[in-house]
Amino acid sequence: MKTGNQSVKTDFILLGLFQYGPMDTVLFAVIAILFSVTLMGNIILILLIQLDTRLHTPMYFLLSQLSFIDMMYISTTVPKMATNFLSNSKTITFLGCEVQAFVFLVLGGTEALLLGFMSYDRYVAIYHPLRYPVLMSKKICWFMITCAWTSCSINSLIHTLYAFQLPFCRSRLINHFFCEIPSMLPLVCQDTSQYEHTILLSGLIILLLPFMAILASYACVLTVVFQMSSGKGQTKAISTCSSHLTVASLFYVTTLSTYTRPHSLHSPEEDKIIAVFYTIITPLLNPFIYSLRNKEVIRALRRVCVGE
């Protein structure tokens, strides 16, 4: 693996979520089912938004983008993890690992910013309903999406190019189920403390700022909700906000735990369990939280099914 001060670009070995053993077939089946349900949930939601003109609004446009990202997000990591349960070879090429890390960072960062934009959409809808068509015009929505994809692509490219030129000379065993940059730093045979500071900075900007914006926007929304005279309206709004906030918090808290802690505080087994939440659980829950608890989406599903 090491030639002088340089690392040889050879394959890595993914140790996986669990120790591979007699339960591999069962674990493969479970992961495959979760993956299929996630894809189906997000595909159905995207199709509904496309087919029903009543859902052609900024909120559902952003939601369709979230569903697209979640499909790509889970497809970046889960297929390789699932096939490793049935394969004797757990290897991933250097280039494959680099591509996986890049795409994962792009999608994860874009989702983090998009969730923040979605909370801003709800804030404008409730606090400035008369100006909503102007503040959330189609042009502004596309500007938000473009900014999110562009900024996260640049951030991901910088981190990926830098991280993969480091000398990986200690081992080629990645104690994870996919190529995630923090999990690869233990393989580097030089001091990475300075680079960890840049990971921390990126995490604070891309993860913490949108999360704080979400908390602030929902606080404002709930302030308006508690001023409602209708108890039924309060209950419905609180139920909706709490479910959205729970899923968003699950995503942000787990990703912040991975990307804002120094390497010395990381535990490989703990990191893998935490990663399951933001790579599998949140993409699985998002389409159901944002659709099954939404009467407009349910009505759209009925209209499409009966051919109205």
Structural domains for the chain: 12-306 (1.20.1070.10)
Q: Give, for 257, the enclosing helix (H) or strand (E).
A: helix 231-259
Q: For residue 18, which phi and psi values (nearest 5 degrees)?
A: -130, 170
Predicted confidence (pLDDT) per residue in 167-197, tens digit = 988 788 999 999 999 999 999 989 898 999 9
Question: In this structure, are strands 173-174 and 12-14 parallel, antiparallel, or unpaired?
Answer: parallel
Query: Please, are residues 1 and 7 in contact by the beta-carbon 8 Å criterion?
Result: yes
Alpha-carbon span 279 to 275, nearest angstrom: 6
Question: Across all residues in the chain, what is the average pLDDT?
Answer: 88
Predicted confidence (pLDDT) per residue in 92-121, tens digit = 999 999 999 999 999 999 999 999 999 899
Confidence of residue 293 (pLDDT cuts 50, 70, 90): low
Alpha-carbon span 123 to 137, nearest angstrom: 15
Predicted confidence (pLDDT) per residue in 116-165, tens digit = 999 899 888 888 889 999 999 999 999 999 999 999 999 999 999 999 99
Residue the block writes with tokens 């859902």: 55
Number of C-beta neighbours around residue 175 at 10 A: 18
pTM of the model: 0.90
